[in-house]
Amino acid sequence: MSRLSCFKRLASDCEGATLVEFAIATPMFLVLVVGILDIGQMVYGKAVLTGAVHRAARNTALETRNTSEADASVRNAIAPILPGVTIATSRTSYYDFADVGRPEKWNDANGNSRCDNNETYTDENRSGTWDEDVGKKDSIGDANDVVVYKVTASFSPMFKVPFLPQRWGTRTLSATAVTKSQPFGNQTSYGSSAGNCA
């Protein structure tokens, strides 16, 4: 029998074709399913984290605020979705919403948008140095202060996509909430002492 007739016979033979098709399609289907589960875990985790952070921020805006309980409530809310999760939190307080992210006031004599060359500044947050962000770091603020609460969650994915080991490492999700504390007392104004930048 010639090679050509052998190839023709093999091409017309359909026995076992389903097994070959299954062997080709199954790995791609499994990668797709695991990829969808992986993305689903991240999207659901982000949604739960955002809700937990907003709830915790509202709770710490009250006069009876407890930051340890708030952080624990965020961790407890996301732990079932992101097993083995670790969280890092930060709080920065400001006098008003307009102050969020703005630098302390200074005389920018050389126009380089940095406080340097012995330029004078006002130490509004009482840190003793000029700061690019006027907010008080690691502070829940006083009455009527605006607080930016940020949580970063690090976790190892439950669903590891086959053939993509670089996607198996630690992932991070973050959420931020901005609240204004209850007016339970008099708000402390910014400092007014002057300083010189090095």
Q: Where does 60-170 show beta strands of DSSP type E?
A: 86-94, 120-122, 136-137, 146-155
Q: Is the pLDDT of residue 1 over 60?
A: no
Torsion of CA 8, 12, 16, 19, to 10 degrees: 100
Q: What is the pLDDT of residue 119?
A: 87
Write out pLDDT tens, residues 19-28.
778 888 888 8
Answer for the pair 153, 85: CB distance below 8 angstroms, yes or no: yes
Q: What is the pLDDT of residue 163?
A: 65
Which ranges of 61-164 would DSSP assign to H, the alpha helix? 67-78
Q: Note the pTM of the prediction, 2 decimals.
A: 0.76
Answer for the pair 141, 147: CB distance below 8 angstroms, yes or no: yes
Angstrom distance (rounded) from CA 178 to CA 146: 7
Compute the Cα dihedral for 20, 24, 27, 32 and give only its sign. Answer: negative
Angstrom distance (rounded) from CA 122 to CA 190: 9
Looking at the chain, how many residues does it have?
Answer: 198
Write out pLDDT tens, residues 145-195.
899 999 999 998 888 776 666 666 788 999 999 998 887 777 777 888 888
